[in-house]
Amino acid sequence: MDRVLVLVRHGQSDWNLKNLFTGWKDPDLTPQGVSEAAAAGQRLKDLGLTFDVAYTSALTRAQHTCRLILDQLGQSDLHTIRDQALNERDYGDLSGLNKDDARAKWGEDQVHLWRRSYDVPPPGGESLKDTVARVLPYYCQEILPRVLRGERVIVAAHGNSLRALVMILDGLTPETIPSMELDTGVPLVYHLKADSTVESKKVLKA
């Protein structure tokens, strides 16, 4: 069995471009983001990959990325499951703010703590630890069983919701995960062993 799991962070969004905290807000992709998503699909096609099911979040930028990838693969009609369990981390009161403006208001150190610590949430929002607590049960209950049955699964989601999965798959710790970045539109191709651990990982950079 293949046991293939592909994780893709959505392409550049309008608010990524404007340097805004996005979270559960719902901007769409920029033209660059559209190109990144289509290119991700082409790189997956070049590997000869097709999928049995797709997962994405309840947010437009991830859904749009997923559609563009599947279009490249000739799988536009693939069964796609959307769930807010895969949404980006909720940035609470920071959502919609320019990151530089936030630093001016609260200070560099405080904003860095909210963005990069594992367990300190921004006001009214989620820490990365909170995001892991939301994403991981969904992965274990819904996604992983399909992969272990031999289905090829693609997940198009967000930087932090996917970092929650990479943390588990790559064996990262609360100390090492905050510094790990996921590029927009770059697929991570995992092959899993029967015990759900990672047999191999490939990063499909442009």
Number of H helices, E strands in the chain: 8, 6
Report the DSSP beta bridge partners of residue 13.
Answer: 29
| 3-state SS, residue 202 | strand
Query: In 10 A of CB 201, how many CB atoms?
Result: 15
Question: Which of 10, 36, 64, 158 is the catalytic position?
Answer: 10
Query: In 10 A of CB 10, how many CB atoms?
Result: 31
Question: Which of 36, 88, 126, 158 is the catalytic position?
Answer: 88
Q: Is 191 a catalytic residue?
A: no
Please provide residue 147's backbone torsions phi and psi, each rounded to the nearest 5 degrees. -60, -45
Q: Please give the angle made by the CA atoms of 87, 122 and 143, to the nearest 5 degrees.
A: 25
Asked if 96 contacts 60 with a C-beta cutoff of 8 angstroms, the reply is: no
Q: Is 88 a catalytic residue?
A: yes
- CA atoms of 51 and 113, how far apart (whole Å): 38
Asked if 82 contacts 57 with a C-beta cutoff of 8 angstroms, the reply is: yes
Query: In 10 A of CB 65, how many CB atoms?
Result: 31
Residue positions annotated with a catalytic role: 10, 88
